[in-house]
Amino acid sequence: MQIIHTISELRNILESQTGIALVPTMGNLHAGHVHLVELARQQAQCVVVSIFVNPLQFGANEDLENYPRTLDADFEKLEAAGADIAFAPNIKEIYPNFDAATNDLGQTMIISAPPISKELCGASRPGHFDGVATVVMKLFNIVMPQLAVFGKKDFQQLFIIRELVKQFNLPIKIIAGDTVREPSGLAMSSRNGYLTPEQKAHATMLHACLKEFVESIQQGCGDYTALEQVTAQTLDNSGWLTDYVSVRSARTLLPASKEDKQLVVLAAAKIGNTRLIDNIEFATKANN
Ligand code: PAF
C-alpha cells in the first residue's frame, strides 16, 4: 500500500489506473471502515482510502480538536484490508484558502447542501452537511473514482452524497455499506472511543430503542409522532440527552407518511458529552 500526502503525487499515480474506488474517512478506523474498504476491494482494481479530519464539518463547540488521530494504526488496518493507496493530506492541501489557526474560511468555496440537510443532524449541527458535501466533492475531483463507498450508519450523509452525485451529474456509483455493530448491538463509531466502559454498556440502549420502535410499527402502531416522543422520553429518562428520534421515508428522508412503505427510523442522542447516532431502515409490514 502506498501512503500519499499530496494531490499532485496522487494524481501521478492514478493517471495510469482504471477501476478506481474511493472510501472517504476521517481516520481512527474501526471494523465499520474495514467493511467499506472490503466492499470497495470486491468491485475495483484500485482502492483509495482518504484520511482527512475535515474542519468544515465541525461546529464551533464540537470535537474537532479532540477528534482521534491515529494515522499509523489506520495505515496498518488499511494495508491488512487490501487498500492500494492511503491518501492523508494536510489541511492546506485540501483547503489552501482556509486558516486553520483562526478557523477563518477566507475565500474558501463551499457547497450548499439541500434543505433536508437542515433537518435531523443538520438541525443541531448547522453547516455540517455543507462541510461534508464540500470535502466529498473535492475528494471526488481529486481521485476521480468510478465508485465510492459510504456507510449506512450516517444515513443522512449517505442521502446527501447521493443527491450531490445526482444533482452535479457526477459519473460515480455510490455503494452503501451496512452498519457494523458490536455484539451488543452498538453501532461502530470513532466516537465510541470517548465512552467510559459504563457509558459504552449503556450506549447499547440506543439501538435497542430503535428496534423496539420498528417492532411497534410492525405490530400496527401508526402514530409515528407519539412513538418518536415516547422513545425520546425513554432515552432521556435513562440519562441520555436526546437530539431527535424521527421516522422518515427512506427514499426522500422527509417525515414518513402512511403511504411510505420504505422507512428509516433515525436517532441522535448524547451520553455524557458524546453524541451518538444510529438508524434502522425497514419496510412496513403492518397495514397502519
Ligand atoms: O463519514 C465520514 O467519516 C465523513 O463525514 C466523510 C464522509 C469522510 C467526510 O469528511
Query: How remote is the C-alpha of 76 from its chain's centroid?
Result: 22
Instruction: Give yes or no: residues 140 and 45 share one domain.
Output: yes
How far is residue 132's CA from residue 178's CA, in Å, rounded to a whole number? 20
Burial class of 215 by CB neighbour count within 10 A (0 to 12, 13 to 18, 19+):
exposed
Which domain range does residue 201 map to?
Answer: 190-279
Q: Residue 161 falls within a domain, yes or no?
A: yes
Instruction: Give yes or no: residues 169 and 265 share one domain.
Output: no
Backbone angles phi, psi at 47, to 5 degrees: -105, 115
Q: Residue 182 falls within a domain, yes or no?
A: no
Chain position carrying cell 471526488: 140
Instruction: Give yes or no: residues 121 and 216 share one domain.
Output: no
Q: Which of 5, 33, 35, 207 is catalytic?
A: 33
Instruction: Give yes or no: residues 46 and 157 share one domain.
Output: yes
Instruction: Give yes or no: residues 172 and 206 share one domain.
Output: no
- Asked whether 209 lines ligand 1 (CB < 6 A), one says no
How far is residue 249's CA from residue 100's CA, in Å, rounded to a whole number? 38
Q: Residue 185 falls within a domain, yes or no?
A: no
Please choose, from the candidates 138, 117, 139, 120, the residue with its C-alpha nearest in 3D space to the C-alpha of residue 129.
117
pLDDT, position 167 = 98
Determine the average pLDDT of the residues in 213-226: 96
- Pairing type for strands 46-51 and 85-87 reads parallel
Inter-residue contact 150 to 176 (CB < 8 Å): yes
Give, using CA atoms, the residue closest to atom 6 of ligand 1: 25
pLDDT, position 286 = 62
Q: Residue 44 falls within a domain, yes or no?
A: yes
Task: Give the CATH number, domain containing residue 226.
Answer: 3.30.1300.10
Please choose from 63, 150, 154 the residue to mutate so as to test ligand 1's pocket, defined by most ligand atoms within 8 A of CB: 154
Q: Residue 49 falls within a domain, yes or no?
A: yes
Distance set, CA 10 to CA 38, 96, 173 (Å): 21, 17, 21
Q: Residue 284 falls within a domain, yes or no?
A: no
Tell me which of 147, 177, 207 is where a domain ends: 177
- Asked whether 274 lines ligand 1 (CB < 6 A), one says no
Instruction: Give yes or no: residues 132 and 226 share one domain.
Output: no
Q: Residue 65 falls within a domain, yes or no?
A: yes
- Structural domain count of the chain: 2
Name the band, by pLDDT with cuts 50, 70 and 90, for residue 285: confident
Tell me which of 136, 155, 177 is where a domain ends: 177
Give, using CA atoms, the residue closest to atom 5 of ligand 1: 132
pLDDT, position 186 = 98
Instruction: Give yes or no: residues 144 and 199 share one domain.
Output: no
pLDDT, position 201 = 97
Rounded to the nearest integer, the mean pLDDT of the chain is 97
Task: Return the amino acid letter for 252.
Answer: T
Q: Is 35 a catalytic residue?
A: no
Instruction: Give yes or no: residues 51 and 154 share one domain.
Output: yes
- Asked whether 26 lines ligand 1 (CB < 6 A), one says yes
Chain position carrying cell 449541527: 125
pLDDT per position as a tens digit, 33-73: 999 999 999 999 999 999 999 999 999 989 999 999 999 99
Name the band, by pLDDT with cuts 50, 70 and 90, for residue 26: very high
- Pairing type for strands 147-151 and 173-177 reads parallel
Task: Give the CATH number, domain containing residue 23.
Answer: 3.40.50.620
| Host H or E run for residue 134 | helix 128-143
Determine the average pLDDT of the residues in 207-213: 98
Angle (nearest 5°) at CA 77 between 76 and 81: 120
From 97-106, 163-172, 237-246, the region with the lowest mean pLDDT: 97-106
Chain position carrying cell 453501532: 187
Instruction: Give yes or no: residues 45 and 129 share one domain.
Output: yes
Q: Residue 165 falls within a domain, yes or no?
A: yes
Determine the average pLDDT of the residues in 8-18: 97
pLDDT, position 134 = 98
Instruction: Give yes or no: residues 257 and 160 share one domain.
Output: no
Residue 62 CB: number of other CB atoms within 10 A? 13
Instruction: Give yes or no: residues 260 and 135 share one domain.
Output: no
Tell me which of 177, 200, 228 is where a domain ends: 177
Inter-residue contact 208 to 184 (CB < 8 Å): no
SS3 182: coil
Closest atom of ligand 1 relative to the 190 alpha carbon:
3
- Asked whether 94 lines ligand 1 (CB < 6 A), one says no
- Asked whether 53 lines ligand 1 (CB < 6 A), one says no
Query: Does pLDDT of 9 surpass 80?
Result: yes
* pTM exceeds 0.85, yes or no: yes
Instruction: Give yes or no: residues 218 and 153 share one domain.
Output: no
Listed as own residue / partner, the contacts of 199-202 with beta carbons closer than 8 Å and 24 or more positions apart are: 199/271, 199/272, 199/274, 202/238, 202/239, 202/271
